[in-house]
Amino acid sequence: MKAAEHSGLLGEKSRKSGGRISTALIEQANKHTGIESDMTEFALAAVALDDDFGSAFRKIRRTVNPDLKLGF
């Protein structure tokens, strides 16, 4: 959430959102993250800040430059 705040994504809350969500899904997400407050805001921030690593990795055909020093 700090990254979302630093990115300016947690400004004024002027838009309302609602929907029906599985209780089991919310409970598991709460256990997994330790978040007991606004899980919707956390989920939206996670999507908004996604670095798209998976798509980028697929685009380069799951390869890594052999000259890249990985530290091991």
Judge whether 39 lies within some domain.
yes
Is there a domain that residue 7 lies in?
no
Structural domain includes residue 14? no
- The reply to whether 5 falls in a domain is no
Q: Nearest-5° angle of CA 16, CA 38, CA 20?
A: 60
Q: Tell me the HSE value of 38 on the side-chain side, using a 13 A CA sphere.
A: 12
How many folded domains does the chain comprise? 1
Residue matched to tokens 């890249």:
68
Give per-residue pLDDT as tens, 1-58: 899 999 899 988 888 888 898 999 999 999 999 988 888 888 889 888 988 877 887 8
Asked, for residue 40, whether it belongs to a domain, the answer is yes
pTM greater than 0.75 = no
4/70 Cα distance (integer angstroms)? 29
Whether 2 maps to a domain, the answer reads no
Inside any domain, residue 8:
no
Q: Burial level of 17, CB count in 10 A (0-12/13-18/19+)?
A: exposed
Q: Which domain holds residue 50?
A: 19-65
Reading the block at residue 22, the tokens are 């599985």
